[in-house]
Amino acid sequence: MDEYNRDKNFKRPFYWSSSGKPMTFSYWSDNNPDNYKQDEHCVHTWASKSNYLWNDNRCDHSRFGFICEDHYLHAEQQKMLSEKVQKLRQPNAKLFEEYHLQQKEYSEKLSSLLAENEAGEMEFKEVLHNIYTKLEFDISHALAQHQREVNSLVENRNEVVHKRNAELRTFNEEMSKKFSKELEAAKIVYDDVLTV
Based on its alpha-carbon atoms, the radius of gyration of the chain, rounded to whole angstroms, reads: 41
The yes-or-no verdict on residue 135 having pLDDT over 60 is yes
pLDDT tens-place string over residues 96-118 = 888 889 988 998 999 999 999 89
Q: Could you report the per-residue pLDDT of 3-56, keeping only the tens digit for each?
A: 666 666 667 888 887 778 888 888 888 888 888 888 888 888 887 777 889 988
pTM reported for the whole predicted model: 0.32
Handedness of CA 69, 73, 76, 78 (dihedral sign): negative
Longest dimension (CA), the chain: 130
Residue type, 30: D
Query: Using CA atoms, how far apart are residues 149 and 128, in angstroms rounded to an integer?
Result: 10
Residues 14 and 22 sit within 8 Å (Cβ to Cβ): yes
Strands 54-57, 42-45: pairing kind? antiparallel
